[in-house]
Structure 1
């Protein structure tokens, strides 16, 4: 019987990532515009069929 490997993140790893996100936001590496652009890109990738139907998936401020 094969055992499935499920990757998981520890609490320390999660805290490390959250602190890193906060520092990047505070120093200007992550901006609201960047989040909107990445969000629009992710929507376009996952909902590509809507784009073919003429739906605009750009996130507006």
Structure 2
């Protein structure tokens, strides 16, 4: 009998404290941590990286 997932919750932490606390949604080596400043440039860099990854995934799906 197949299982149908109707709802999925994903929680991540960006700029985790340096105390070594890791959340359940973090992946080792997924991305380099942002500097502690958290300025506008950091946010723009994160958004640009996310957009690039999404476009890459969409491009790969279209090639199939």
Is the radius of gyration larger for structure 1 or structure 2? 1
Q: TM-score, normalised by structure 1?
A: 0.39
Greater helix fraction, Structure 1 or Structure 2: 1
Q: TM-score, normalised by structure 2?
A: 0.37
